[in-house]
Structure 1
Amino acid sequence: MTTPTPGRRRPARTYSAIPGQAPGTPVWRAAKSLILLVCLALVAVPFLAVLSTSLADAGQINATGGFVLWPDHPTLASYRALLGGGLVSRAMLVSVGITVVGTAVSLVASIGLAYGLSRRESFGHRPILLLLVLSLLFVPGVIPSYLLVKQLGLIDSYWALILPTAVNAFNVIVLRSFFTGLPTELIDAARIDGASEWRILTRIVMPLSKAAIAVIGLFYAVSYWNAFFNALVYINQSAKWPLQLVLQTYVVNNAALGQGQTSDPAAALPPTVALQAAILILSILPIIVVFPFLQRHMTKGLMIGAVKG
């Protein structure tokens, strides 16, 4: 039995998914490139098919009998029919309003609650933190939630889509973890200089937490934008439907858009498949537009609380 020479390290073992090939070899790099290309194709081809179908004309859709991979004569007829003042255009405005207002309300409430829970000297922070953790384990049912919203008089109100989900316990705990890791010397120095808690929060804590706040804001925005169940339960008037409920009704349930639900009731509607594909594109377009502006904060923000070696 041989013993390692003192002062010398054993070479680290390398593991490869390809038998007989070490990482860094041409075969290994080619295999990784092939896997990435396959994953890219699995994502890009369906998205391209939906986008192409929304831009295809009626003749090509009828000829293919469904989805089109590449439009021969692109047209915006489906988008004009949806965005000219019908049900979908109203639903999109509703979704944008709910997302903007809801994200603002959620961020204000979550930041204030997380900052209070991050200060050990704050009143009742332990019982409140315990209640917050318990809310992750015990989720209220649909019927109690509906009865509460009804008692508050929020049925058929946009606030029914915001207030029940205004504070997410997981997001608050993530923000609290980030606030707790900030240097206490800065906060103590601000207190010595006579700064109030509000000034400390807005001038010191929030500027140092831009990455975390951006990620949590993105989480809230995506949650509000994609939510449809609350609208299905609490909203009775179709004129107040958000876009995701329209998507669920006319795409998932395959209901047909009527003449009164598009821009020009007298005009002939594009094929149903093209309208459904256009609604799908409209439902994901805002997130695709906003995400690149927040992407630079994602890596730092998502590493909050991670184990660092």
Structure 2
Amino acid sequence: MQKSRSDRLFYVFVYLLTILAVVVTLYPFLYVVSISFSSVDAIDKQKVVLWPVGFTLSGYQMVLQYKELWVSFYNTVWYTVVGTMLNIVATCLAAFPLSRQQFFLRRKLNFFIAFTMYFSGGLIPVYMMITSLGLYNTRWVMVLPVLVITFNVMICRSAFEGIPNEIFESASIDGANELTMLYRLAVPIIKPTLAVLTLYYAVFHWNNFFSALLYLGKQDMQPLQMFLRRVLIMASPEVMQKMGGTMTSGALAVSTLQVRYVSIVVSILPIVMIYPFIQRYFVKGITLGAVKG
């Protein structure tokens, strides 16, 4: 079918807008990666525009030999893996009963869960509750207070509601209880949605620094994002001197910029590598259960 002139102009506009959006979002990331692989001399003379100039791994050698990076990296992996696993289990246990028509508290619990999306007790009461429970300066403070995120429960509940009720009725006739129907029937059917929720929770835990800023005073328990915060925002002289060794002040100033960008790449690389394995579930997982009728 031949397109009219106005249609062709519209498609050209859409393509140009898409290319512009890709350039605007992709260029800063490429620039950060290029700086991390460029030589100190090229960075000092501002020769780096798009590709690395004077390719070198000295920045990564400087950062990766710093012990605190690996301690915080291990903490972040622990918080992400343990937190995401518990999040998925708790989300399924919360969403499945809310999706069942015969559950007598369904409407009331849905209201209270939705209520928490808009109103909370505030930061100070939450802080007092966490300290009174003995969670302060423990690993569990990064996991238990965010065990369930309301929006993700709503997504999971909608996915469960999209499953035909006849499947559960047939399983009930065969003698299956609610837990069996949840883990043997419902969970396998909504795997795309759970894959997306896994990505949501994992990214949340990987990037979560605010909880650590409030509740983790021990530096050996702080996640990678707190280390990145000290390098990027605070530009901790202690960190830079330990990494820079006996460098001159001028070289150390240039190297500080490179260390910052290397730290950014190191912090985002693991979560970026996971995304391609979940990407094929993304659209299907979001739309599963969203359309009724």
Asked if TM exceeds 0.5, the reply is yes
| Residues 1:199 and 1:43: Cα distance change in structure 2 (over 3 Å) | same
Q: Deviations over 1:188-240 (max 9, x none)?
A: 11111111222111111011001111111111111111111000000112222
Of structures 1 and 2, the larger Rg is shown by 1
Which runs of 5 or more residues in structure 1 are unaligned?
1-13, 15-19
For 2:23, the equivalent position in structure 1 comes to 41
- CA distance in 1: counterparts of 2:17 and 2:240, whole angstroms: 46
For 1:3, the equivalent position in structure 2 comes to none
For 2:175, the equivalent position in structure 1 comes to 194
- The offset of 1:260, in angstroms, is 7.5
For 2:70, the equivalent position in structure 1 comes to 89
For 2:201, the equivalent position in structure 1 comes to 220
- CA distance in 2: counterparts of 1:261 and 1:87, whole angstroms: 11
For 2:275, the equivalent position in structure 1 comes to 291
| Residues 1:139 and 1:153: Cα distance change in structure 2 (over 3 Å) | same
Q: How does 1:2-41 map to 2 (within 5 A)?
A: 21-23=5-7, 25=8, 27-41=9-23
> SS at the partner of 1:64?
coil
Counterpart amino acid of 2:25? V
- Please tell me whether residue 172 in structure 1 is matched to residue 156 in structure 2: no
- CA distance in 2: counterparts of 1:135 and 1:298, whole angstroms: 26
For 1:9, the equivalent position in structure 2 comes to none
Contact 1:94–1:240 at 8 Å: present in 2 too?
Answer: yes
Q: How does 1:111-130 map to 2 (within 5 A)?
A: 111-122=92-103, 124-130=105-111
For 1:244, the equivalent position in structure 2 comes to 225
What is the RMSD computed on CA atoms of the aligned residues?
2.4
Contact 2:161–2:289 at 8 Å: present in 1 too?
Answer: no
For 2:166, the equivalent position in structure 1 comes to 185
> SS at the partner of 2:53?
coil
- CA distance in 1: counterparts of 2:280 and 2:246, whole angstroms: 45
For 1:107, the equivalent position in structure 2 comes to 88
- The offset of 1:267, in angstroms, is 6.5
- The offset of 1:257, in angstroms, is 5.1
Q: How does 1:144-159 map to 2 (within 5 A)?
A: 144-159=125-140
Q: 70, 74, 95: which one pairs with 2:55?
A: 74
Q: Deviations over 1:257-296 (max 9, x none)?
A: 526755xx85657801111001111222122111111111
- CA distance in 2: counterparts of 1:223 and 1:55, whole angstroms: 28
Moved more, 81-90 or 222-231: 81-90
Which runs of 5 or more residues in structure 2 are unaligned?
none
Contact 1:88–1:246 at 8 Å: present in 2 too?
Answer: yes
> SS at the partner of 1:203?
helix
What TM-score results when the alignment is normalised by the length of structure 2?
0.89
Number of matched pairs: 286
- The offset of 1:36, in angstroms, is 2.1
Q: Percent identity?
A: 34
- CA distance in 1: counterparts of 2:194 and 2:35, whole angstroms: 37
